[in-house]
Structure 1
């Protein structure tokens, strides 16, 4: 991921909206790589080329900056998944459509997925509440999608649908994690790879 660095980011006179974009871009990577608990505000400031006090001036606290990051990536992912589900009939092609949408939404900011799905967040904290709200919305789409997929195969068992939803969410996280370790792969290349994997799994079922 490319973040703003150097004198251009550190000079005075940068519009506030642009500065916030620079900070959030750097914070998404730092938080996504290291989690809220161990992420460094000093490192975020260094990436942008500003002082650490400026981060607090803009976002109030580490929690405030994290929440801003969650509120940036959450709606983006939700819109991507919702759009994929709306454009693709509920059937065997739906998983591939959703995966493609997720990869494209994360292109250039792959670590952002783990900002939303961060296990180090303190339960009940402001960042946890924000992440939980967005995850619930995305999980709701996943639940309806997995239920529809099973229904298409004559299975309306609610527990099966719930189990499959958890399998699906874990699979997406695992695939994003693998993708992060292969930065040479584009979103569309990753999508094509998943298409082959899904076809292989189905063929062996």
Structure 2
């Protein structure tokens, strides 16, 4: 197997192990056994357990951030953009929900490198959230930068809360969670006619 393909296979297995059990509970021997390779080979590829975890963060971060970039460029505005963004993330995570947990692993070591990786992806997501919020407020005639900052903070909290809630309910599919999010959003933000239009766009109630 070519090295790039082997590294991707190892990263996929390591991401799942770290995401499900946490950094402290996973050994390099565990990952090597899951991949069917020798432990020295993993050290040869990634240098250390922390190096492997750093690569997992980059691997997972690219999957999430690249999809948010994709949906951001789809041209949706306001609530529609928010729902398209959530839909994309739910679909990315559906078969690998452990990815999200990597960024909130309290057992990972204190490390400037790991902190910097998490901060870099957080900044990418924050930037996209700020863009979406600014567009939505502009459409409503609101150009107040502090309003935009406050609403971006609210959106980031809501976004994370919905994803974390969904991770705790594995019986709920990505499609079902998208529809649930739409129902919740329209219940608190839109009138009845507008609500029905948005719900229709995500497959109904």
Please say whether Structure 1 and Structure 2 have the same fold, judged by a TM-score greater than 0.5: yes
Choose which of 101, 118, 142 in structure 2 pairs with 1:114: 101
Q: How many residues align?
A: 191
TM superposition shift of 1:52: 3.8
Deviation readout 1:149-203 (Å, 9 max, x if unpaired)? 2222233222222222222222222222222222233222221121111112225
Q: Is the Cα–Cα contact under 8 Å of residues 69 and 128 in structure 2 kept in the other structure?
A: yes
Is the 1:35–1:120 Cα contact (8 Å) retained in structure 2? Answer: yes
| Residue matched to 2:19 | 32
Question: In 2, Cα distance between the equivalents of 1:80 and 1:142?
Answer: 13
- Partner residue of 1:138? 125
Instruction: Decide whether aligned partners of structure 1 residues 85 and 128 sit closer, same or farther in structure 2, where only a CA change above 3 A counts.
Output: same
RMSD: 2.5
- The 3 A distance-change label for structure 1 pair 126 and 44 is same
CA contact (8 A) 1:110 1:176 kept: no
Q: Pick from 81, 86, 95: which aligns with 2:68? A: 81
Give the TM-score of the pair, scaled to structure 1: 0.79
Q: Which residue of 2 aligns with 1:103?
A: 90
Tell me the alpha carbon deviations over residues 112-148 of structure 1, each in whole angstroms, 9 at most, x when there is no partner.
Answer: 1222344555555222212221221121111111222
Match of 2:7 among 20, 39, 48: 20
- Structure 1 residue 193 corresponds to structure 2 residue 180: yes
Q: Deviations over 1:49-88 (max 9, x none)?
A: 4444443222111121112112212222222112212113
- Find runs of 4+ consecutive structure 1 residues off by over 6 angstroms: none
Does 1:182 pair with 2:169? yes
Map 1:39-78 → 2, pairs under 5 A: 39-78=26-65
Gaps of 5+ in 1: 1-13
| 1:128 equivalenced with 2:115 (yes/no) | yes
Kindly state the Cα deviation for residue 100 of structure 1 after the two structures are TM-superposed: 0.7
- TM superposition score normalised by structure 2: 0.79
